[in-house]
Amino acid sequence: MINTVTTNKFQQSISRNKLLRVAGVGWLFDAMDVGILSFVIAALAVEWGLTPGQSGWIGSINSIGMAVGALVFGVLADKVGRKQIFMWTLVLFSIASGLSAFTTTLAAFMTLRFLVGMGLGGELPVASTLVSESVEAKERGRVVVLLESFWAAGWLIAALISYFVIPSWGWRSALLLTAIPAIYAIYLRWNLPDSPQFTVKAESKKRSVMQNIREVWSKKYARSTLMLWVLWFTVVFSYYGMFLWLPSVMVGKGFNMITSFKYVLIMTLAQLPGYFTAAWFIEKFGRKFVLVSYLIGTAVSALIFGNAETIVALLTSGMFLSFFNLGAWGALYAYTPEQYPAIIRGTGAGMAAAVGRIGGIFGPLLVGSLLTAGYDIGFIFAIFCGAIIIGVVGVIFLGQETKQIELE
């Protein structure tokens, strides 16, 4: 009996680790693409002579695609299953990302970035839902945060590619490097099992999309939905507003492009310990503790970074910004699927992510428009600080702790 239990636990561990690895590899390539984009924007601004407003639109069109993708593919995940959508989104993302390397006009580049965003926006909530439903309650939060840690690895690789490749080989080569390996992730996912908590049964086939959407806002789930929408909007608004502009902000503070890329690379290194500490705290102290504490850390770091004048202050506050913000992201992805039952989990998570991506549209645009209007970066980052605090208040007063609670 003991040997049977031990064998079952070992098999579950192997299955969990395989799922984490396969989902994480795709997550890594997604992060590479988003990370590369922040450096590509800085390079395109020089090569194509873009204004801050045009540069802001590149980041925003990506978020528009992510909003559409999160909503559409999140809803479909409750109709056809998690694995199928997991595959579709990665194929869309890979093809569009590769083609964007060959564009010669801003319009063509932005069109393809919209499609890249759709694939990326659809994959992330579906991936976290699949992993969340496939892991035991006692370690669910930690495993989902560890899945999110692949994002930091992807950003780190993106920073390395940008530092070593873009100055010598150009931004097109960098985009190709992010698209080609994603084909390997498609191969890995081919034999991935679907969620054990969700199969396309008669019940899910009978339910309409509008039924699922209405259920998300039913009396039972309305409070959780409101909390998630506020949280996702404020977190994504501030993240894309700050991080897509980091290389450009460094250039604006007087550093050349190569030096700016190097400093952003150093800041990116702090993302990994941010994830790992959040993964440990989330099962020890709970989801709300991690979200509140790490978001407050993000807000303080953003305020200091925006007003930093010395390189030491910039690097230190930038590293804390990466540490706290990405740790909070891990908790956000762990927390979101836990608010709904399996029948509407994809829809609920997808809708929350879609609302967040609307914030991601306005964040980069806000930076571009305010810089054009002559506002300094300290004022702009103070706005992001205030937005994050609103998200913290939402979690404190509307959020319910879900640590180690069995999913419905």
What integer best gives the mean pLDDT of the chain?
84
* 254-312 pLDDT per residue, tens: 777 777 778 888 888 888 899 899 989 998 999 999 999 999 999 999 999 989 888 89
The sign of the CA dihedral 175, 181, 187, 193 is negative
- H helical segments located in 222-310: 222-243, 246-252, 257-269, 271-284, 287-307
Which whole number is the average pLDDT over 233-253? 85
Number of separate domains in the chain? 1
Q: Give the torsion through C-alpha atoms of 335, 341, 347, 349, to 10 deg.
A: 0
H or E element in which residue 201 lies: none
Give the mean model confidence (pLDDT) for residues 171-188: 75
Inside any domain, residue 209: no
The sign of the dihedral angle between the CA atoms of 286, 20, 225, 80 is: negative
334-381 per-position pLDDT tens digit: 999 999 998 898 899 999 999 998 998 888 888 888 988 889 889 999
* pLDDT of the residue at 206: 64
Question: What pLDDT was estimated at residue 214?
Answer: 93
The answer for residues whose C-beta is within 8 angstroms of residue 216's C-beta and 6 or more apart is: 225, 340, 344, 347, 348, 351
Comparing 132 with 280, which gets the higher pLDDT? 280
Domain annotation covers residue 404 = no
> Does 200 map to a domain?
no
Burial of 180 (0-12, 13-18, 19+ CB in 10 A): middle
CATH number at residue 102: 1.20.1250.20
Average pLDDT over residues 20-41: 81
For residue 115, is it within any domain? yes
pLDDT value of residue 139: 83
For the chain, the distance separating the N- and C-terminal CA atoms, rounded to the nearest angstrom, is 29
Domain residues for the domain of 42 are 15-190+217-398
Domain contains 9: no
pLDDT of residue 272: 87
Give the model's confidence band at 13: pLDDT under 50 very low, under 70 low, under 90 confident, else very high. Answer: low
* SS3 assignment, position 276: helix
Instruction: Report if residue 68 sits inside a domain.
Output: yes
Helix (H) or strand (E) holding 196: none
Q: Is the pLDDT of residue 97 over 70?
A: yes
Predicted confidence band of residue 33 (pLDDT cuts 50, 70, 90): confident
The pLDDT value recorded for residue 7 is: 40
| Token pair belonging to 204 | 């899910």
Q: Is residue 201 part of a domain?
A: no
pLDDT at 244: 75
| 3 has a pLDDT exceeding 80 | no
Question: What is the structure's pLDDT at 115?
Answer: 94
Q: What is the DSSP letter of 292?
A: H
Spatial distance between the Cα atoms of 20 and 32, rounded to a whole number of angstroms? 18
> Percent of the chain at pLDDT above 70?
89
Residue 277 resides in a domain: yes
Residue 191 has pLDDT above 70, yes or no: no
Whole-number Å distance between alpha carbons of 106 and 309: 33
